[in-house]
Amino acid sequence: MRAFRLESPDRKASLCNIDIPVPVKGEIRVKIHACGLNFADLLMLKGEYQDTPATPFTLGMEVAGVVDAIGPDTSGPEVGTPVAVFGGQGGLAEYGCFPADRAVHLPDGMGFTDAAAFQIAYGTSHVALNYKAGLQPGETLLVLGAAGGVGLTAVEIGKVMGARVIACARGADKLEVAKQAGADHLIDAATEDIREVCKSLGGVDVVYDPVGGNQFKAAFRACRPEARILCIGFASGEVPQIPANHLLVKNLSVMGLYWGGYLNFRPKVVTDSLAVLLDWYSKGLIRPHVSHILPLEKAAGALDLLRTRKSTGKVVVTLD
């Protein structure tokens, strides 16, 4: 089968042919139809992600497809069932073996492209805003990187939860995407002062930050007393240093959120969240924004779209 793999740390990832995997106990094999890309895939290529597998490995963290085999003594979805799976790796291939207990049945009407773009982005934002920050109706939510893979879902979810949403992104095109997702106010990070705009709007109660760097610093200074700051990632490349004395003076809370980590120590947080999100999808309350769909042979180009920040929402690679 074809797979887009990193064979060793000193080589570039490339498309190659490998054997179709055979599921072992506890696994299902999925005939993959679509794979959603994430910023973490870029970090894996550089060996900088917290869960980077040992080489060689196949890239692609989340997939959608059809179960085509089940491992021995394994309870799982039946062969022929359409599923989405967060596997952490192995998605950019024609087939993949994944833990059976991570398979999520697709609701009626959900296609493979939406399913492959769904779990990580929406899951991260919902667990962050609901479980960690306890976002309340009427509160003000500032979303940095608001046109990106996770940021755009935070805008959508914030609106569903009843918040006033301030979306921050670079350039008119990206801000328009955030506006279409429901943002109430827009900040162009390339030309406007994030702190001053937020202060003019009365300050913020929750900050959703997948960017870090100077944007974190500006958002930090725009917080109301008892605000909650969610550190989702550091796309800017700069991990901010937090002045603890300022936390004390304003009674602020800074929270880290690594969605995949909950699968290891509290999986019910993830499964409960996904149940809510899939219900919202079925009701038409949320819908993935996929800016680019490319075939497997263009996987390198698909990753470049993330690297160069030319995409909005999600990039999906198809294998049909």
Tokens read off for 66: 């059809």
Is 279 among the domain residues? no
pLDDT digits (tens, 9 = 90+) for 176-214: 999 999 999 999 999 999 999 999 999 999 999 999 999
Per the structure, the complete domain to which residue 31 belongs is given by 2-118+288-318
Give the Cα-Cα-Cα angle 42, 300, 155 (nearest 5 degrees). Answer: 50
pLDDT at residue number 119: 96
135 and 28 belong to one structural domain: no
pLDDT digits (tens, 9 = 90+) for 269-283: 999 999 999 999 999
112 and 141 belong to one structural domain: no
- Strands 62-70 and 82-86: what pairing? antiparallel
| pLDDT beyond 90 at 67 | yes
| pLDDT beyond 90 at 299 | yes
| pLDDT beyond 90 at 24 | yes
pLDDT digits (tens, 9 = 90+) for 226-265: 999 999 999 998 999 998 998 999 999 999 999 999 999 9
Instruction: Name the one residue in this structure whose structure tokens are 């089940």.
Output: 70
pLDDT digits (tens, 9 = 90+) for 31-46: 999 999 999 999 999 9
Tokens read off for 279: 């219900």
pLDDT at residue number 10: 83
113 and 193 belong to one structural domain: no
> Mean pLDDT throughout 45-64?
93
Q: Are 89 and 57 in contact (CB under 8 A)?
A: yes
> Mean pLDDT throughout 35-63?
93
CA distance 12 to 290: 26
Nearest to 157 by CA among 145, 169, 176, 141: 141
Number of domains comprising the chain = 2
148 and 215 belong to one structural domain: yes
Nearest to 125 by CA among 145, 151, 105: 151
Nearest to 143 by CA among 114, 196, 191, 181: 181
**How much is the pTM?**
0.94
Which residues lie below 8 Å from residue 34, measured CB to CB, with a gap of 6+? 63, 64, 65, 112, 113, 115, 116, 316, 317, 318, 319
Tokens read off for 48: 């900088």
Is 275 among the domain residues? no
Is 277 among the domain residues? no
β-sheet with 14-17: strand ranges across: 14-17, 2-6, 57-58
Give the Cα-Cα-Cα angle 221, 227, 232 (nearest 5 degrees). Answer: 85
Question: Mean pLDDT, the chain, as a whole number?
Answer: 96
Is 247 among the domain residues? yes
CA distance 106 to 245: 47
83 and 109 belong to one structural domain: yes
% of the chain at pLDDT higher than 70: 100
pLDDT at residue number 140: 98
β-sheet with 140-143: strand ranges across: 185-188, 164-169, 140-143, 204-209, 223-231, 253-256
pLDDT at residue number 86: 95
97 and 193 belong to one structural domain: no
